[in-house]
Amino acid sequence: MAIVLTIRMLAIPLLYVDYQLRKDYIVNNLCENRLRPQMHCDGKCYLAKKIAATEHRDVTEKGIAFARLLFELPYYEAIQAKIHFDFIPELHQAIVPPYLVGYFSEYTSSHFQPPQA
């Protein structure tokens, strides 16, 4: 991955190196103005086209990656937890305190009584 990133980062400088190493071949065979030596193009038109194509490709790839980021929805699979009980719990009867039968409220003999119809 690091090698790929390094090559992509050095794409344009590598084009300049390629141009310098193959300058005679580019001037004699690939230059658009090879039949007009008075223009002194020396293959710079070929180099400019290659650089523009590389930059266009980089911009297009970045745009596609950004569009994927925007328009692709992440897919999350719901994980269902499965709980298995390998034992049967013993049934215990709840201990309830006895109800106080002797409960007496003083509000029954109070002056606050509901209205009688």
Q: Per-residue pLDDT tens for 56-72?
A: 988 888 888 888 877 77
Residue 78 lies in a domain: no
Q: Model-level pTM?
A: 0.50
Stretch 17-33: mean pLDDT: 89
Residue 56 lies in a domain: yes
Residue 24 lies in a domain: yes
Closest CA to 19 of 53, 37, 45, 56: 45
Residue 114 lies in a domain: no
Residue 43 lies in a domain: yes
Count the domains in the chain.
Answer: 1
The Cα 12–Cα 54 span in angstroms is 7
What local confidence, expressed as pLDDT, does residue 78 receive? 66
The Cα 31–Cα 54 span in angstroms is 18
Residue 96 lies in a domain: no
Residue 19 lies in a domain: yes
Residue 21 has pLDDT above 90, yes or no: yes
- Owning domain of residue 25: 12-71
Q: Average the pLDDT over each of 11-15, 19-23, 100-104 and give the range with the smallest value.
A: 100-104
Residue 53 lies in a domain: yes
